[in-house]
Chains A and B, each alone.
Chain A
Amino acid sequence: MTQKIIAKEELYKQLNSLAKDFEIIGPKDLFNKGFFYERLDSAQELYLGEGFTTEPVKKFFLSPSEWLFNCQYNNGKNSLEELSLPDKKRIIIGVRPCEARGLILLDQVFGSQGYKDEFYLNNRRRTIIIGLACAKPDAACFCTSLAGSPVESRGMDVIIFAKGDEEFILEIVTDKGKEIFGALGQVLNETEKESHALEKEKNKELVIPKIKVPESLCSIFEDAYWQEVSRACLDCGICTFLCPTCHCFDLVDEQRKKLRCYDGCAFADFTVEASGVNPRPTKKERYRQRVFHKFEYFKKNFGENLCVGCGRCIRHCPVKIDIREVVTNIPVTENK
């Protein structure tokens, strides 16, 4: 892996010159509204400082509202009209390691085990990801307890580390990354390499490990615990929309358009059947479904937890439900 040091100015200049072939996307500081990924007119609009975007980068791959096809109705006949997929290439910069790992998990959902979702996969193919290592995790971060790290580059093409205010250390991860950034910056000398490695180790320690995931949850499916922990839940669904790995959706007809829109297990009407029966009738069943999907079912089906420890559901929950506490305090009993 090539490691280089690069001036912020040089990086921004390169991004601006790439803007003729690529759409450039990155976090912007919208002041009192928070940080949000947006399409940028110039790299100078980027915010690569402390703090985390409210929405995860997921929305550029799994759109909150994806247009799947049209059905035209002419002279009494229906006809279907397919849409062409967007082919504009994109660079998304500022993606945090937890979010990049979220994309790897979504790749499994949308592109493995015989299922190929071309809408999602096309978005993945046309995007180069420049990750930004975390130098300052906040109180809600817990990536290291879920096999992640604030300085890892899985799922990225390039990762950058802020070095002071005016420089970055840049590591090329994939060939795609090399193509666009290979010629930039100065290669690190041995001393610089060592201190960079030390810095990385130090940053890992900053994330406080605050969650312990039980090996299996199946023994406590019926426990009153779920009622207790979900009591405060408002069914607002913010935890699902802001989660980098939640991917439940609805298929909606809007006049002649078929859309796929975000949906979530937190919503009371998510599973209501036409007969009026709801297999997840109360917050207990709905919140339990979220925890079980993330920490039990997904593990059974794909071998990993469906949580990357980004902390968004904790930061933004209006009633301060903390998934770390919920999972860690699960009263796991043997042979129940």
Chain B
Amino acid sequence: MENVYLPNLAEIVEIKQETLDVKTFTLKFCDEAARQSFDYKPGQFVEFSVFGEGEAPFCISNSPTRKPNIECSVKRTGKVTEALHELDIGDTVGIRGPYGNGFPLEDLKNKNLLFVAGGIGLAPLRALINYCLDKRDDFKAITIVNGARTSKDLVYKAEYEVWKGAKNTQLHLTVDCNEENWTCMVGVVPKILEQIRPTCQDSVAIVCGPPVMIKYTMPVLLKLGFCEPSIITTLEMKMKCGLGKCGRCNIGPLYICKDGPVFNYAQVKNFIHQ
């Protein structure tokens, strides 16, 4: 029987502590065939099971160009994430997916890419950033604006040097308030965008972060000249099935899990400010 709810078992092979409450888990499918056949696009997500505790959706935060192991970054927030953070290397979890549409890779080709991330919102963008860097010649200039409340909340720190050193790539790091020994920018993400004024010419902005960041970033991008279809964001809502059936992530006729989570601003502007 084809059971759409049956996950694949995956073993945790590495755990990286990103911040006080964010860990990145590297997962290896136990079944070699599943490992080889698992394919996905940046921006897609998986349903992650901690057996006996529950299931929750997480985006895959590494690029499919760096398969076959997958990575998910998890902020300790609720019941399932709490249980996940207790797990060790060698423990097994359930993974089903990938679900969702992923980023529109074809539409990004030969464009200037502006990545705008806040906090753990960098997770889905990291998958796309590394994808673009692995296929660097397919894209024009890459600008990354990454903000967090404090420097302690910045994720994927180990990769910043690589990003900065990549061809035609700029990284702007910012924290909300000034800190001792902080040498990068200070201020919330929309303010930083106003300062650095990235070009809207031939550009696509890819935005992910907390609702409050989205709310104040969108008007700035529009003012900078980005048109609504050229602003891409990835949404989150409570999800259970990942298949557009359980009814939670329904906004308008759309299901975030099935029709998204990646949308352009024109598609969702009426929903995300509600």
Task: Please tell me if B181 contacts chain A, counting CB pairs below 8 Å.
Answer: no
Quick one: which of A138-182 are within 8 Å of B by CB?
A: none
B179: shortest Cβ distance to chain A, in Å? 24
Query: Which of A16-24, A49-57, A257-265 touches B?
Result: A257-265
Task: Please tell me if A115 contacts chain B, counting CB pairs below 8 Å.
Answer: yes
Docked complex Cα distance between A118 and B5 (Å): 10
Contacts of A296 in B (CB 8 A): 253
B2: shortest Cβ distance to chain A, in Å? 6
Contact B245–A82 (Cβ < 8 Å): no
Contact B241–A251 (Cβ < 8 Å): yes
A91: shortest Cβ distance to chain B, in Å? 23
Contact B1–A256 (Cβ < 8 Å): no
Contact A258–B5 (Cβ < 8 Å): yes
Task: Please tell me if B67 contacts chain A, counting CB pairs below 8 Å.
Answer: no
Task: Please tell me if B51 contacts chain A, counting CB pairs below 8 Å.
Answer: yes
Contact A68–B3 (Cβ < 8 Å): yes
Contact A279–B253 (Cβ < 8 Å): no
Contact B81–A117 (Cβ < 8 Å): no
One of A110, A118, A258, A275 near B77 (C-beta < 8 A): A275
Task: Please tell me if B268 contacts chain A, counting CB pairs below 8 Å.
Answer: no
Task: Please tell me if A85 contacts chain B, counting CB pairs below 8 Å.
Answer: yes
Contact B51–A73 (Cβ < 8 Å): yes
Contact A256–B238 (Cβ < 8 Å): no
Task: Please tell me if A45 contacts chain B, counting CB pairs below 8 Å.
Answer: no
A297: shortest Cβ distance to chain B, in Å? 4
Docked complex Cα distance between A249 and B251 (Å): 17
Contacts of A73 in B (CB 8 A): 51-52
Question: C-beta contact mask, B1-39 vs A, less than 8 Å → 1, else 0?
Answer: 111111101000000000000000000000000000000
Query: Which of A35-43, A196-204, A229-237, A266-274 touches B?
Result: A266-274
Contacts of A272 in B (CB 8 A): 238
Question: C-beta contact mask, B215-256 vs A, less than 8 Å → 1, else 0?
Answer: 000000000000000000000111011011111101111000
Contacts of B5 in A (CB 8 A): 68-69, 251, 258, 260
Contacts of B1 in A (CB 8 A): 82, 84-85, 118, 122
B44: shortest Cβ distance to chain A, in Å? 16
Contacts of B165 in A (CB 8 A): none
Contact A78–B253 (Cβ < 8 Å): no
Contact B240–A250 (Cβ < 8 Å): yes
A250: shortest Cβ distance to chain B, in Å? 6
- Interface size grouping (class) on chain B: 35 or more
Contacts A82-B3, A260-B5, A296-B253 given; does A249 touch B246 at CB 8 Å = yes
Contacts of B174 in A (CB 8 A): none
Contacts A78-B92, A116-B4, A272-B238 given; does A255 touch B52 at CB 8 Å = yes
Task: Please tell me if B104 contacts chain A, counting CB pairs below 8 Å.
Answer: no
B149: shortest Cβ distance to chain A, in Å? 14
Contact A77–B92 (Cβ < 8 Å): yes
Docked complex Cα distance between A115 and B258 (Å): 11
One of A82, A85, A116, A249 near B247 (C-beta < 8 A): A249
Contact A256–B244 (Cβ < 8 Å): no
Contact B3–A69 (Cβ < 8 Å): yes
Task: Please tell me if B55 contacts chain A, counting CB pairs below 8 Å.
Answer: yes
B90: shortest Cβ distance to chain A, in Å? 8
Contact B247–A277 (Cβ < 8 Å): no
One of B54, B243, B246, B250 near A253 (C-beta < 8 A): B54
Contact A277–B211 (Cβ < 8 Å): yes
Contacts of B138 in A (CB 8 A): none
One of A115, A273, A279, A297 near B252 (C-beta < 8 A): A297
Task: Please tell me if B274 contacts chain A, counting CB pairs below 8 Å.
Answer: yes
B206: shortest Cβ distance to chain A, in Å? 22
Residue count of chain A within 8 Å CB distance of chain B: 47
Contact A253–B51 (Cβ < 8 Å): yes
Contact B238–A78 (Cβ < 8 Å): no
Task: Please tell me if B53 contacts chain A, counting CB pairs below 8 Å.
Answer: yes
Contacts of B55 in A (CB 8 A): 251, 253
Contacts of A279 in B (CB 8 A): 237, 251, 274
Docked complex Cα distance between A270 and B247 (Å): 9
Question: C-beta contact mask, A287-304 vs B, less than 8 Å → 1, else 0?
Answer: 001000100110011000
Contacts of B7 in A (CB 8 A): 80
Contact B4–A248 (Cβ < 8 Å): no
Question: CB-nearest residue of chain A relative to B76?
Answer: A274
Contact A115–B3 (Cβ < 8 Å): no
Contact A109–B245 (Cβ < 8 Å): yes
Task: Please tell me if A71 contacts chain B, counting CB pairs below 8 Å.
Answer: yes
Contacts of B253 in A (CB 8 A): 296-297, 300-301
B192: shortest Cβ distance to chain A, in Å? 24
Interface centre among A84, A118, A253 (most CB of B within 10 A): A253
Contacts A251-B241, A263-B247, A297-B252 given; does A274 touch B81 at CB 8 Å = yes
Contacts of B6 in A (CB 8 A): 68-69, 80, 82
Question: CB-nearest residue of chain A relative to B80?
Answer: A274
Question: CB-nearest residue of chain B relative to A84?
Answer: B1
Give the top 5 A-B pairs by smallest Cβ distance, nearest first. A274-B78, A248-B247, A300-B253, A71-B51, A274-B77
Beyond the given pairs A68-B3, A122-B1, A260-B5, 12 more chain A to chain B contacts, judged by CB atoms under 8 angstroms and listed by A's residue number, are A68-B5, A68-B6, A69-B6, A71-B49, A78-B94, A82-B3, A118-B2, A118-B3, A249-B247, A251-B246, A252-B54, A271-B248
Q: What are 21 A-B pairs at a CB distance below 8 A? A: A68-B3, A78-B9, A79-B9, A80-B9, A80-B94, A115-B245, A116-B2, A117-B245, A122-B1, A249-B246, A250-B240, A253-B49, A253-B53, A255-B52, A256-B51, A258-B5, A272-B238, A274-B79, A274-B80, A297-B250, A297-B253
